[in-house]
Amino acid sequence: MSWRWVAGLALLGHGFAHTLPGMRAAAGFDLLPTAAWAMALVGFSGAGCGLLGARPFAARWDRWAAAGVCGSAFL
């Protein structure tokens, strides 16, 4: 198993780990936490899919990861 598979699965797992904080943020209808949650979830999921070989995300997986880190740091 290559490092790309391990890192891709780790990024996907981390992205989906943001679902609970995101649901809690969305329950209060707060715009900024909800946007940060969406950014973290989509960013980490896109980066993970890119590392796993999904063509739309593969060329820019690092930018997807950066977006996920920004959203995660805000949360």
Residues 6+ apart with CB under 8 A from 46: 57, 61, 64, 67, 68
Q: pTM value?
A: 0.84
Neighbours of 49 (CB within 10 A): 20
In whole angstroms, give the CA distance from residue 65 to residue 75.
15
Per residue in 31-71, pLDDT tens?
888 888 889 999 999 999 999 989 988 899 999 999 999 98
Among 1, 64, 71, CA closest to 36: 71
Neighbours of 17 (CB within 10 A): 14
